[in-house]
């Protein structure tokens, strides 16, 4: 019997991704969109970037490009306390909820 493993398993890295819509005759310099994505590797981070950008700004991967992708490291790796805020949005039977 196969055991199912969690994809992230707690080893998430922080990536800063900057992307934009492809330039066209109508819009020579489209706006840049920057996101911080937590993912296990850069492939998943790019995938999540396009997932969110498609929903937030109507830019698909076929019509866009990634300008910059960097893994962000801790300024002080020995720090014991880390505070993160989480913005959660989920769909239920009664609608979409933001927390």
Per-residue pLDDT reduced to its tens digit, 6-50:
565 668 899 999 999 999 999 999 999 999 999 999 999 999 999
Q: What burial class does residue 86 get, using C-beta atoms within 10 Å of its C-beta: 0-12 exposed, 13-18 middle, 19+ buried?
A: exposed
- Give residue 79's pLDDT: 76
- Give residue 48's pLDDT: 95
Please state the domain count of the chain. Answer: 1
Please report whether residue 97 resides in a domain. Answer: no
Domain carrying residue 17 = 11-72
Q: Is the pLDDT of residue 5 over 80?
A: no
Question: The CATH number of the domain where 23 resides is what?
Answer: 3.10.20.10
Coil/strand/helix, residue 48: helix
- Give residue 81's pLDDT: 72
Q: What is the pTM of this model?
A: 0.71
């Amino acid at each position: 019997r196969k055991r199912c493993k969690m994809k992230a398993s707690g080893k998430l890295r922080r990536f800063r991704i900057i992307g934009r819509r492809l330039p066209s005759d109508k819009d020579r310099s489209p706006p840049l969109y920057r996101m911080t994505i937590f993912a296990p590797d850069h492939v998943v981070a790019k995938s999540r970037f396009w997932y969110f950008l498609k929903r937030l700004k109507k830019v698909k991967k076929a019509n866009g490009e990634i300008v910059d992708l960097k893994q962000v490291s801790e300024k002080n790796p020995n720090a014991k306390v880390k505070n993160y805020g989480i913005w959660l949005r989920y769909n239920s039977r009664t609608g979409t909820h933001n927390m």
